[in-house]
Amino acid sequence: MDELWIPVLAIICTIGLPIATGLVLGLRWMNARHNERMGLINQGIIPPDSPKKKSNPNRFVSLRNGIILVCLGIGIIVGFLLSNLSDEFRISSFFSLSASIVFFLGIGYLIYFFVTRNMTMPNENGTELSQE
């Protein structure tokens, strides 16, 4: 029966410790924020509510990530197809898989460069910024 406690304790520690750490850090942050606000109120200063910032999504990052993920998928597929053929040509399957992934990632970055070369992104003020 003593041997049963070791895996139970290991599971509790690997799951419970990160959750407990997150809770303790979150409660400390909330307490520090509360004490700061109360200190400002005691001095007669009304603290401003922290407004939620509007996130302005950068479409260039989303476009880049989409192109790279598609090319990564194509590279993995081609790599697996080449690894099936590698036995006939005496090429390492790891080499064919990694080379095709790197090759198609490079193609993906080139596609992203040529697509966004002349594109502009609107600024917060409404003016156009060129993507650099």
pTM: 0.51
Please tell me the predicted confidence (pLDDT) of residue 73. Answer: 94
Q: Report the C-alpha gap between 43 and 15 in whole angstroms.
A: 43
Please tell me the predicted confidence (pLDDT) of residue 3. Answer: 81
CA 72 to mean position of chain CA atoms:
16
**97, 83 in Cβ contact below 8 A?**
yes
Q: Return averaged pLDDT per consecutive 10 residues of the chain, 132 residues in all.
A: 82 91 96 92 86 74 92 92 74 83 94 87 56 48
Please tell me the predicted confidence (pLDDT) of residue 132. Answer: 47
Please tell me the predicted confidence (pLDDT) of residue 49. Answer: 79
Angle of helix 93-116 relative to helix 59-89, nearest 10 degrees?
150
Q: Considering only CA atoms, which of 110, 120, 130 is closest in space to residue 68?
A: 110
